[in-house]
Amino acid sequence: MADQQQTKVLLFGLGAIGGFYAFILGQNPNVSLSVVARSNYDSVKANGLLIESQNHGNHKVEIDQVLKSPADSTTKFDYIVCAHKAVNPDKVPPILKPVVGDNTTFVIIQNGVGNEEPFRHTYPNNTILSCVTWVGATQVSPGLIQHTKSEDMQMGLFPNPNVDHKLEKAKLDAFAAFLTKGNTVFQVEDNIQIKRWEKVVWNAAWNPLTTLTDVDTQTWLKSSPEATPMTKRLMREVIDVAKRCDVPIGYDLADSLVDKILAMPGIYSSMHTDAKGGRPLEVEVILGYPMKKAREFEMDVPVLSAVYAMTMAVNGRLVAQSKL
Ligand SMILES: *[C@@H]1O[C@H](CO)[C@@H](O)[C@H](O)[C@H]1NC(C)=O
Ligand SMILES: *[C@@H]1O[C@H](CO)[C@@H](O)[C@H](O)[C@H]1NC(C)=O
């Protein structure tokens, strides 16, 4: 039985990133950790979740309860950590209803922007912590996570005007203490949206460009004299949208992100991996939300809209194939 003193945490989405943070949270004796595992349920239920980390060593993750679905529990959790792929952002918040109480705090660890809105819409009185992670991890087989040396995260409140700020801050601090105890690298940000949008400027370029072309970043940038200026225009259009959303980001980010990618070996992207694997893409939170905002503000974003439209077509094909 869980000790009354323990904080009840549910981890939803037990992929590589979710598995990594399950390991971090499980290090904490004050946390009672439950997980919702889907494709890897049988393996995690039978053998547990294993992690091989270049920073933390090899461990079996301390999990108290493995669930197939939130509907299999009646516990109202203190924290629900959402680390699922953001392929269908509106679908998940209602699924969580059986395990959400008045005092539940959501912790969203996902790529993209606008991810908080469906949670706020479904649960207008709950606190949301918004996180941007830079952890490099892969689930090499069901229930086995390999983590590289890459480890960093920024976290901040998605402020709720219906909740007392001191209470929200206390929930943020309590979760930060679990991360500290788990010995992971992170920073608490006053305005997490700056970090979310900065990462989305990166992802909005490299994810669709590697997916649409099926070449790596170096090969893409050198493929024609148009490639680099087009990439920077795309990034600057996303920065324009961020500015209209009152998220202050400078245009120099586009130059520095291109310099950064040129200093690295050519890479692909998680979206490219998903496309190759025949899985739906995280297109809504990476390109769709900036596009929606651009439409709302009646902004002219020709490169973003072209890239968005083509990526949506690829996604449509993948969704149709995955339903066969
Ligand atoms: C949120 O709180 C307000 C005011 O306390 C209340 O009227 C409303 O029903 C609550 N909404 C939900 C979805 O719980
Ligand atoms: C609400 O949750 C926090 C942790 O997030 C906990 O410290 C606090 O005791 C809870 N309050 C109630 C009334 O359950």
pLDDT single digits (tens) 134-191: 999 999 999 999 999 999 999 999 999 999 999 999 999 999 999 999 999 999 999 9
Per-residue model confidence (pLDDT) at position 253: 98
Residue 227 has pLDDT above 60, yes or no: yes
User: What is the residue whose two structure tokens read 């270049």?
Assistant: 54
Number of alpha carbons in the 13 Å side-chain half-sphere of residue 306: 10
Per-residue model confidence (pLDDT) at position 237: 98
**Mean pLDDT value of segment 1-30:** 90
User: Which of the two residues, 1 and 58, has the higher pLDDT score?
Assistant: 58
Q: Does domain 192-322 have CATH number 1.10.1040.10?
A: yes
Per-residue model confidence (pLDDT) at position 90: 93
**Mean pLDDT value of segment 28-35:** 96
The DSSP bridge pattern shows strands 137-141 and 144-147 to be antiparallel
**Mean pLDDT value of segment 109-133:** 97
Rounded Cα–Cα distance for residues 92 and 88 (Å): 8
Share of residues in the chain with pLDDT > 70 (%): 99
H-state helical runs in 96-164: 116-122
pLDDT band at 3 (very low <50, low <70, confident <90, very high): low
Output the residue whose Cα is nearest ligand 2's atom 11.
Answer: 103
Q: Which amino acid is at 127?
A: T
> Ligand 1, from 125, 126, 160: best to mutate by most atoms within 8 Å of Cβ?
125
Residue 2 has pLDDT above 90, yes or no: no
Using left for φ > 0, alpha for ψ between -120 and 50, and beta otherwise, residue 298 falls in left
- Of 24-28, 86-90, 217-221, 249-253, the poorest mean pLDDT is in 86-90
Per-residue model confidence (pLDDT) at position 8: 98
Per-residue model confidence (pLDDT) at position 4: 61
Per-residue model confidence (pLDDT) at position 195: 98
> Ligand 2, from 31, 76, 78: best to mutate by most atoms within 8 Å of Cβ?
78
The third-level CATH classification (topology) of the domain covering 7-188 is Rossmann fold (3.40.50)
Task: For CATH 1.10.1040.10, list the domain ranges present in the chain.
Answer: 192-322
Q: How far is the CA of 124 from the centre of ligand 1 (A)?
A: 7
Task: For CATH 3.40.50.720, list the domain ranges present in the chain.
Answer: 7-188
Residue 323 has pLDDT above 90, yes or no: no
Rounded Cα–Cα distance for residues 204 and 186 (Å): 23
Output the residue whose Cα is nearest ligand 2's atom 13.
Answer: 103
Rounded Cα–Cα distance for residues 60 and 84 (Å): 21
pLDDT single digits (tens) 57-105: 999 999 999 999 999 999 999 999 999 999 989 999 999 999 999 999 9
Q: How far is the CA of 125 from the centre of ligand 1 (A)?
A: 6
Length of the chain: 324
In the chain, at which residue ranges do the beta strands (DSSP E only) sit?
A: 7-12, 31-36, 50-53, 57-60, 65-67, 79-82, 105-109, 127-133, 137-141, 144-147, 153-157, 187-188
